[in-house]
């Protein structure tokens, strides 16, 4: 199955993609994670992406296109969840071409609907483990006492000014893709509020209907 998990930053795409990975065998392809790893390793892509990511802007389309297409090809074009790709009309059009060229159509674009105030709360209180990438929420899912607190940090782009920019970028450049996938008959909107389990359950129901 080939799924796009769609929604604003902080909608819970990463959390839900990791759950679907362990429960349904769908592999998470998260361009944000690929980019952060490239930045950490100071690869040419990482060095090019750095200034965009730090400001909360989108990395140029052509850079991200290659990362996403290579990751999909690595998974033999099947059983994946795209998390954070596509994010612009250009990326969506390239992805459609890529689906056609590889006979690998996307089955659904599941869009998590979350109001801005919930997003700002989630992102400002989100913390991430430097090594495992596991995310926590200071109120709802705090790091356990046996986790070294020095290893749990706030992502630079989760700081308030950058969060506001990321949300603006989402509304202007990414949200219009809902119409693009609606026109293709692939859009499924889901309530992204409530507990992690509630949202997982809603997504599972959609995937069961598709199977």
The alpha-helical segments, DSSP class H, found in 44-195 are 44-55, 61-74, 89-101, 116-124, 160-169, 177-183
Residue 89 annotated as part of some ligand binding site: no
Helices vs strands, H then E, count in the chain: 9, 8
Determine the Cα–Cα distance for residues 28 and 66; give it in Å rounded to an integer. 16
Which CB atom, from 57 or from 69, has the smaller least distance to ligand AMP?
57
Q: Is 26 in the site for ligand AMP (CB under 6 A)?
A: no
Nearest one of 113, 83, 79 to 207, comparing CA atoms: 79
Determine the Cα–Cα distance for residues 51 and 79; give it in Å rounded to an integer. 32
Our answer to whether residue 126 is catalytic in this structure is yes
Q: Which residue is nearest to ligand AMP (CB)?
A: 32
Residue 131, helix vs strand vs coil:
coil
- Give Cβ neighbours of residue 142 (< 8 Å, ≥ 6 apart): 136
Which CB atom, from 164 or from 201, has the smaller least distance to ligand AMP?
164
Q: Which of residues 34-53 bind ligand AMP (CB under 6 A)?
A: 35, 52-53
Residue 135 annotated as part of some ligand binding site: yes
Catalytic residue among 2, 122, 126, 127: 126
Our answer to whether residue 155 is catalytic in this structure is yes
Which CB atom, from 53 or from 188, has the smaller least distance to ligand AMP?
53
Catalytic residue among 2, 65, 122, 166: 166
Q: Is 84 in the site for ligand AMP (CB under 6 A)?
A: yes
The residue ranges that bind ligand AMP (CB under 6 A) are: 9, 31-32, 35, 52-53, 56-59, 64, 84-87, 91, 157, 166
Q: Which residues are catalytic?
A: 13, 87, 126, 155, 166
């Amino acid at each position: 199955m080939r799924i796009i998990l769609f929604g604003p930053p902080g909608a819970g795409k990463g959390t839900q993609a990791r759950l679907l990975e362990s429960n349904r065998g769908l592999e998470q392809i998260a361009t944000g994670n690929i980019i952060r790893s490239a930045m950490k390793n100071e690869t040419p892509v990482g060095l090019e992406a750095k200034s965009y990511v730090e400001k909360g802007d989108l990395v140029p389309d052509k850079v991200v296109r290659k990362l996403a297409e290579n990751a999909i090809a690595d998974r033999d074009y099947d059983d994946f969840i795209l998390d954070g790709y596509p994010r612009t009309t250009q990326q969506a059009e390239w992805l459609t071409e890529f689906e056609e060229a590889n006979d690998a159509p996307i089955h659904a674009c599941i869009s998590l609907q979350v109001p801005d105030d919930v997003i700002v709360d989630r992102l400002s209180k989100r913390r991430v483990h430097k090594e495992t990438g596991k995310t926590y929420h200071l109120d709802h899912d705090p790091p356990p006492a046996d986790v070294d607190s020095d290893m749990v940090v706030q992502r630079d782009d989760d700081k308030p000014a950058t969060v506001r920019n990321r949300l603006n970028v989402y509304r202007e450049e990414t949200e219009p893709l809902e119409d693009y996938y609606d026109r293709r008959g692939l859009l499924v909107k889901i309530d992204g509020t409530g507990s992690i389990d509630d949202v997982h359950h809603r997504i599972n129901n959609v995937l069961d209907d598709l199977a």
